[in-house]
Structure 1
Amino acid sequence: MSRKRRIITLLSAVILFLFAIALPITGVVKTEFFPVSDGDALYLSIRGPVGLNLDQTDAITQEVEKRLLKTPDIVNFSTIVGNPGSTSKIGEGGLNNSNTASITIKLTDPEDRNIKAYNIADEIRQSLADIQDATITVSTPSGGPPSGKAFQAQISGENLQTLDKIANDLKPLVDSISGTVNSDISLKDAPAEYTFILDSAKMELYDLNTGIVGSTLRTAISGTSVTTVIRENKDVEVIARFAKDKIPTLDAIRNLQILNAKNQPVFIKNVATVKLTPSVGSISRINQKRTVLLTADVSGTASSTEVVKEFQKKIAEDYSLPEGYEISYGGENEQNTESVLSIIRAILCSSRFRWLLLVFSLVWLF
């Protein structure tokens, strides 16, 4: 073989090699490391409006359970309504999850049914679609380790209200993509909070400071740790707080008296105003930027990569982000991309070592 043909053959092999590597990167060849498995379990979650009590949540859950009983291929299910440690009373602390419930569904063995688990999940979603009093999601376990949601758009910016508006604007676009289910926004409403706003002028007039007022409110509402005692070889924290019957309502807190530096009693309502303000459950940050996650699962054989591409196309055609706000993508799609790139890097490194080994072998032989 002539030198020219050897060079052409070598270049052709390199080009074909690079072309093969580019196929999964460009999405021509679909990649999915851990597809949805046809297992024997489904997970159903119920989230009602903030403030829904346990009885109301339980009523919705019972309606869901009645419909599950009519679904074939379900062996049994277990239900948890609310959070046993939740509370809604002033000063008792804890997270109030009385508006949530979860159901773990046990299916028949895959060998004993002619339908996939994700198809059963689709049927359950359809049967529960008319329940408008709560958000209900049905999910199937993936075939591998946890990797986040199949679709995850990370919307970053400064203003939470703007982020919330963008996420709610884009949610219908996600829902319109074939194969997406259980779309959700990470910014959740929480029970409204009472905010005490201190008047600095009145504080000075009554000879008070924020430390004294804050300490009194903390002791009244949640208590203050004063010491630790040992009982039965265990440390027991001693909390000093007002008796519950002394502050049964917000008005009672307003009428609390504080002793100023001159030992004169001052009502809290004389130096502070109380406002009921909206609240959110949590605020996420990615790269030091406030971020709201718009997520979704994919049903059946749908590809997370294709969902991301379709979403990006819809945004380019139908939506314009405000200045200073951006969208990045994470979740399962990001991890799949990272996995593919790491494999490609490993292939390139190994190829380089093989070429070096070949060169050294030729040098040694000749």
Structure 2
Amino acid sequence: MVLATVLGLFAVAVFIFTRLGGEFIPALPEGDFAVDTRVLPGSNLNTSVEAVSKASEIILEKFPEVEKVVGKTGSSEVPTDPMAVDASDMMIILKPRKEWTSAKTYTELEAKMSAALEALPGVSFGFQYPVNMRFNELMSGARQDVVVKIFGEDLDTLATYAAQLGRLSNSVEGSEAVYVESITGMPQIVIDYNRTTIAQYGLNISDINRVVNAAFAGESSGMVYEGERRFDLVVRLAGEKRKNLEDVRQLLITTPQGAQIPLNTVANVDIVEGPNQIQRDNSQRRIIVGLNVRGRDIQSTVSELQQKVEEQIKLPPGYYITYGGAFENLEAAKDRLYVAVPLALALIFLLLYFAFGSVKQGLLIYSTIPLSAIGGIFALAIRDISFSVSAGIGFIALFGVAVLNGIVLMAEFNRLTKRGYTNLKRIVIMGTKTRLRPVLMTASVASLGFLPMALSTGEGAEVQRPLATVVIGGLLIATFFNFICFTHFVYAYAQKNSCQ
């Protein structure tokens, strides 16, 4: 009956664990906001500066929690953090939380600020925390929590599938501030030569190219000397004659006969959209679709997105999708935990064997591990906390303390046996009664020590809370089960050996 109950609880705990969701590290409020601000691709510097200025005015006017707003657009003279002129970083420096009046939490304040900034058309704002944003950017090349990369050869095809993926991302619960990397949209003047007409005038394309290059880019016509220094003397059209498309079309080309004809006589000159940028990873062209996750764990968000992508997007041969950002870090951390946790458990069992000289007694003590895991998983579920690296470390610490309590009880049972006690029931009762206080003290010290971390609401509590929750919940259940289930297992094992 006892064994069936334990197995049933453990099965329920495993089922709940699969539904907990997961994230690499819980979002850690850093006291300020970093807002990734972007205007339309191809916009000039004045447009970006104006967007940041207007956004700053809205934030400072409507939110008294804000101490100041600092904006950075483009790249500095030393481009350690290169950005295009249509991208800006807006740092919102907040006052201490006790002085807040518009909101009580960072999530609530972020939502209200995002709603207020919707008054600016054509500008996108992505709220994150400064260190977290830089960490994401260093790890995956993008600033969002989840980064989906599409690899392929043709830029237009990449842009088409990225737009489709962006629409799917917006339909995923928990996604926010979806960003689709722009690789097109840069206006370019394209000169399409009419080779038949060029041949009729006796011209060749290289001569026309040289004229166009000299008129707009400039061409060296000599050298200028100043002492020991020398400079190229570059000649080109005056500024007022190279301002618009018509200036290019009316550029005069001299024919071999000495006549001058406008460029649009031998070519079609138009403004078309060209590549804005070409990004590569491992020498392969790619495009990024990024999204932040709010109100939901990253693992379940990405799982839903992956399911929708498999159902609705069919990539052509040679194109494929990868998922990165915090999700990639989570997967890498889980792979490491899959090695670290079994290794730690194996070392614990090895030490138990050396301590007691018995594989069976080691396995009996080992039964405290699933008992403690049940409590840790239930505690996470009750507090609605997703599994993370912090929680994984908590489980490792929990297993060590749970095994220690099992060792205390088993050592006392063996001591009573060596003293000549033969009644199994009496040995179990006396040993449990003798070691009740040490076991309770061990569990209480660890639980009470982690209690401030579990109940903390200050800065950094998001990282501490999963670890403390796992340890406290696991020890409460493990301590209770140690005196019921573990002693029952020991009694059944000893009774079976005495019968044999």
When normalised by structure 2's length, the TM-score is: 0.53
Query: Which is further off, 321-330 or 190-199?
Result: 321-330
Q: Distance in 1 between matches of 2:108 and 2:221?
A: 58
Q: 1:129 aligns with which of 108, 118, 121?
A: 118
**Percentage of matched positions with identical amino acids:** 19
Q: Is the 8 A contact 2:67 2:94 kept in 1?
A: yes
Q: Distance in 2 between matches of 1:199 and 1:157?
A: 33
**1:105 aligns to 2:69 (yes or no):** no
Q: Distance in 2 between matches of 1:313 and 1:282?
A: 30
Question: Following TM superposition, by how much is the alpha carbon of 1:47 offset from its aligned partner in structure 2, in angstroms?
Answer: 3.2
Q: Is the 8 A contact 2:189 2:272 kept in 1?
A: yes
**Corresponding residue for residue 36 of structure 1:** 27
Query: What is the CA deviation profile of residues 152-183 of structure 1, one whole-angstrom value per residue up to 9, with x for unaligned ones?
Result: 11223444334333222232332233332221
Question: Following TM superposition, by how much is the alpha carbon of 1:329 offset from its aligned partner in structure 2, in angstroms?
Answer: 1.5
**Corresponding residue for residue 139 of structure 1:** 128
Question: Following TM superposition, by how much is the alpha carbon of 1:295 offset from its aligned partner in structure 2, in angstroms?
Answer: 0.8
Cα RMSD between the aligned structures?
4.4
More helix by share: 2
More strand by share: 1
Structure 2 matches for 1:32-111, cutoff 5 A?
32-33=24-25, 35-50=26-41, 61-69=52-60, 70-79=62-71, 97=85, 102-109=89-96
Question: Following TM superposition, by how much is the alpha carbon of 1:121 offset from its aligned partner in structure 2, in angstroms?
Answer: 2.2
**Corresponding residue for residue 321 of structure 1:** 314
Question: Following TM superposition, by how much is the alpha carbon of 1:39 offset from its aligned partner in structure 2, in angstroms?
Answer: 1.4
Q: Distance in 2 between matches of 1:159 and 1:245?
A: 38
Question: Following TM superposition, by how much is the alpha carbon of 1:189 offset from its aligned partner in structure 2, in angstroms?
Answer: 4.3
Secondary structure of the corresponding residue to residue 182 of structure 2: coil
**1:224 aligns to 2:219 (yes or no):** yes
Q: Cα gap change, 1:331/1:212 in structure 2, threshold over 3 Å: closer, same or farther?
A: farther
Q: Distance in 1 between matches of 2:27 and 2:223?
A: 51
Q: Distance in 2 between matches of 1:352 and 1:233?
A: 76
Greater Rg, structure 1 or structure 2? 2
- Structure 2's unaligned 5+ residue stretches are 1-13, 78-82, 348-500
Count the aligned residue pairs: 322
Query: What is the CA deviation profile of residues 260-283 of structure 1, one whole-angstrom value per residue up to 9, with x for unaligned ones?
Result: 566654532232111221223113
Query: Which is further off, 252-261 or 199-208?
Result: 252-261
Secondary structure of the corresponding residue to residue 316 of structure 2: coil
One-letter amino acid matched to 1:197: D
Q: Distance in 1 between matches of 2:95 and 2:112?
A: 15
Structure 2 matches for 1:281-300, cutoff 5 A?
281-286=276-281, 289-299=284-294
**Corresponding residue for residue 475 of structure 2:** none
Q: Distance in 2 between matches of 1:331 and 1:106?
A: 25
Q: 1:192 aligns with which of 177, 181, 187?
A: 187
**Corresponding residue for residue 306 of structure 2:** 312
- Structure 1's unaligned 5+ residue stretches are 1-19, 86-94, 354-366
One-letter amino acid matched to 2:71: T
Higher relative contact order (CA 8 A, sep 6+): 1
When normalised by structure 1's length, the TM-score is: 0.69
Q: Cα gap change, 1:334/1:101 in structure 2, threshold over 3 Å: closer, same or farther?
A: closer
Q: Cα gap change, 1:83/1:226 in structure 2, threshold over 3 Å: closer, same or farther?
A: farther
